[in-house]
Structure 1
Amino acid sequence: MQFTRGLLALVILIAPALAPAEECEVELFVLGAGQDAGAPHIGYPDDPAWADPALGQTATSIAVVDHVAGERFLFEATPHVTRQLQLLDTLAPADGPGLGLDGVFLTHAHIGHYAGLMYFGREGAGADGIPVFVMPRFAAFLQGNGPWSQLVKLENIVIQPLAAETPVQASKGIHVTPLTVPHRDEFSETVGFVIVTNASKTLFLPDLDSWDEWAQASGIDLATRVVELDHLFVDATFFQDGELTGRDMSEIPHPRVKDTMERLSGLSPELRQKVRFIHYNHTNPIRFPASPESALVSARGFDVARAGDRLCLAP
């Protein structure tokens, strides 16, 4: 399988559509890799992306495309969904009119993961019956609260309830299984998704509180999951403690990138290279490819997901 590093965002957006790097039946595309609010970040005037937009980042989202069936599935509807669908159209154009989405899978009800649904309504795309796959509490939240309830009423979206650890067939070549994980669940459950093809299993897990809490709840630790899966896109919100000035980061539960790397340091290089860090905060230095922290991630045998990356899930 081949993991191809994406081009610079500006080049991607103006270039003609790119063919897959190899013959590939099911392909994953990284559309964004930042934390919910992206970068430059609101209330952060010193962010270098204000002066250089090329340093900006959009919130975390991936797409999985079944090239055989001509179907495209979006994972997370972010506040940057307009730009991200334009990127997807450049990398893997839709076969027909409209948004060309055959389903949207949402992990939880925090702004960076579902707020982009607002663009599917009559003020935006005026979408027609896009299936939106969510857990039961999340479904009730969307159905019972505006403006999301209007999307349901007008059938811009059609809610497809999920059940934990129960796979759904997205297309002939793709099955998706939600796994509940510990996180702030004010309005919905939080899940990661295992995306299964005939050749691979991929974990998409942008948000959780603690590897230990998840292992205790599920009975499976992170190292075991790395062994059992082929690719893992995991929470990299913070690189280490001390990133947020004036904040007690012990009160902000997310696995730190340094801790995750240390936990997996005993695994072989072949296993460590399965892990790709995603959902990094604007304060996390791995957002910059040339940073010492990004170099450290590579030196330890891991990778950092970047917008424009593509990964073949079924050759």
Structure 2
Amino acid sequence: MTKNLLHICVLLLLFSACKPKNKPATATDNTDHNTASSSPTKISNTALIILGTVQDAGSPQIGCKKDCCKNLFTNPDPNRKVVSLGVVDNQNKATFLFEATPDIATQVKALKNSANFNAQEIPTGIFLTHAHIGHYAGLMFLGKEAMNASNTPVYTMPKMKTFLEENGPWSQLVANKNIAIKATENKQTLELTSNLKVVPFTVPHRDEFSETVGYTIIGPNKRALFIPDIDKWNKWGQDITTEIAKVDYAFIDATFFDAEEINNRDISEIPHPFIIESMGLFKELPATEKSKINFIHFNHTNPALNIKSTKAKQVIKNGFNIAQINTVYNL
């Protein structure tokens, strides 16, 4: 073999080793919802994208001394963002953000980058569920110290609207016209574009400053249910299994896996449906219904937050999904 031919062979081997072994996911290639993508997928139609899956305080959580946080302070996981969904409507060149989290800077950038058009830096509209830190604190970055946005539509229920208008620093966003609050009503459909509708509905939760809502997100072909925070399912006036039957995807509260996880706190002060309880409730559902369910809003202590954990594998084995950042769901 000549020296030149040897060089060519070496270069070919190196090139082959550097090529990606798997093709990147597309907006229609989302059959495995339990696999996180390292970057947003380009959406060419109308679709929903997961922008965060973690409970309000993030992961690692401030002051945490447990093993679940130990290495994350020095080696943070870029996929651990506070719970948020994005929706893209390419036909109408619109983007919508569900929840304004402390991670809003990277989340709105990911939403913009997922659009198959030159989307604005700030979404066409922002939907809030309630006044707990992980769900609205990101609004601060729309103010003059940061983005200094102009009249960004923020959709809220009446009590949340009053809270933002009458309490600083949020009232400054209103006064400076960084945000324009759009009042919503329980179970009243909002027509956002020719391809998108949203229906807010109240759910029971710790409503210190505002009511708490979930959303039904309606696209041209499919529907999604989004309930990141709720008390126990039996406290709600609706039957969750009936509501799941009405949609194609359900993103539901998975804050804690079970009671043992938070044995250092009074569970009555932070009621949520444990994953283990929800799986028991949904146990008799057919496989097609179970596959709609995507657990989301994981506390930093929740072992299912780690997709490789025994608990996460148990959830998937039972026919459910663990929500993963950057996964796309066609609407």
TM-score of the superposed pair, with normalisation by structure 2? 0.86
Distance across 1 between alignment mates of 2:42 and 2:30: 14
Distance across 2 between alignment mates of 1:19 and 1:145: 38
Q: Does 1:180 align with 2:207?
A: no
Q: Does 1:69 align with 2:96?
A: no
Which has the greater radius of gyration? 2
C-alpha displacement at 1:86, in angstroms? 2.2
SS class of match (2:262): coil
Distance across 2 between alignment mates of 1:57 and 1:238: 16
Partner of 1:283: 301
SS class of match (1:193): strand
Residues 6, 154 of structure 1: alpha-carbon distance in 2 compared, 3 angstrom cutoff: farther
Counterpart of 1:54 in structure 2: which amino acid? D
Residue deviations 1:144-166 (CA, integer Å, cap 9, x gap): 11111111111110000000000
Residues 25, 96 of structure 1: alpha-carbon distance in 2 compared, 3 angstrom cutoff: closer
Q: Does 1:123 align with 2:141?
A: no
Residues 18, 305 of structure 1: alpha-carbon distance in 2 compared, 3 angstrom cutoff: closer
SS class of match (2:135): helix
Counterpart of 1:241 in structure 2: which amino acid? A
Partner of 1:89: 112
Distance across 2 between alignment mates of 1:188 and 1:292: 37
C-alpha displacement at 1:29, in angstroms? 0.7
Residue deviations 1:164-190 (CA, integer Å, cap 9, x gap): 000111121110011100001111010
Note the 1:186-197 alignment, pairs <5 A: 186-197=208-219
Q: Count how many residue pairs are aligned between Structure 1 and Structure 2.
A: 300
Partner of 1:150: 172
C-alpha displacement at 1:204, in angstroms? 0.6
Farther off after superposition, 69-78 or 170-179: 170-179
C-alpha displacement at 1:6, in angstroms? 8.4
C-alpha displacement at 1:3, in angstroms? 2.8
Distance across 1 between alignment mates of 2:170 and 2:88: 26
Distance across 1 between alignment mates of 2:186 and 2:42: 35
Residue deviations 1:90-142 (CA, integer Å, cap 9, x gap): 32266255x24110000000000000000001110111111000000100110
Give the conservation status (yes or no) of the 8 Å contact 1:65–1:73: yes
SS class of match (2:141): helix
SS class of match (1:265): coil
C-alpha displacement at 1:283, in angstroms? 0.4
Give the conservation status (yes or no) of the 8 Å contact 1:40–1:56: no
Give the conservation status (yes or no) of the 8 Å contact 2:126–2:153: yes
TM-score of the superposed pair, with normalisation by structure 1? 0.90
C-alpha displacement at 1:267, in angstroms? 0.7
Distance across 1 between alignment mates of 2:229 and 2:158: 19
Partner of 1:161: 183
Partner of 2:158: 136
Residues 6, 263 of structure 1: alpha-carbon distance in 2 compared, 3 angstrom cutoff: closer
Residue deviations 1:270-295 (CA, integer Å, cap 9, x gap): 11000000000000011101000110
Give the conservation status (yes or no) of the 8 Å contact 1:65–1:71: yes
Distance across 2 between alignment mates of 1:8 and 1:231: 17
Residue deviations 1:21-67 (CA, integer Å, cap 9, x gap): xxx52110111000001101001034131243127611100001111
Give the conservation status (yes or no) of the 8 Å contact 1:277–1:303: yes
Distance across 2 between alignment mates of 1:178 and 1:270: 25
C-alpha displacement at 1:2, in angstroms? 5.1
Counterpart of 1:260 in structure 2: which amino acid? S
C-alpha displacement at 1:198, in angstroms? 2.4
Give the conservation status (yes or no) of the 8 Å contact 1:29–1:310: yes
Identity %: 40
Partner of 2:229: 207
Residues 60, 144 of structure 1: alpha-carbon distance in 2 compared, 3 angstrom cutoff: same
Partner of 1:78: 101
Distance across 2 between alignment mates of 1:263 and 1:96: 41
Note the 1:15-54 alignment, pairs <5 A: 18-20=41-43, 24-46=44-66, 47=69, 48-54=71-77
- Structure 2 unpaired stretches of 5+: 1-27
Farther off after superposition, 226-235 or 276-285: 226-235
C-alpha displacement at 1:200, in angstroms? 1.4
Give the conservation status (yes or no) of the 8 Å contact 1:135–1:162: yes
Partner of 1:104: 126
Partner of 2:291: 273
Alignment root-mean-square deviation, CA: 1.8
Counterpart of 1:78 in structure 2: which amino acid? T
Give the conservation status (yes or no) of the 8 Å contact 1:234–1:275: yes
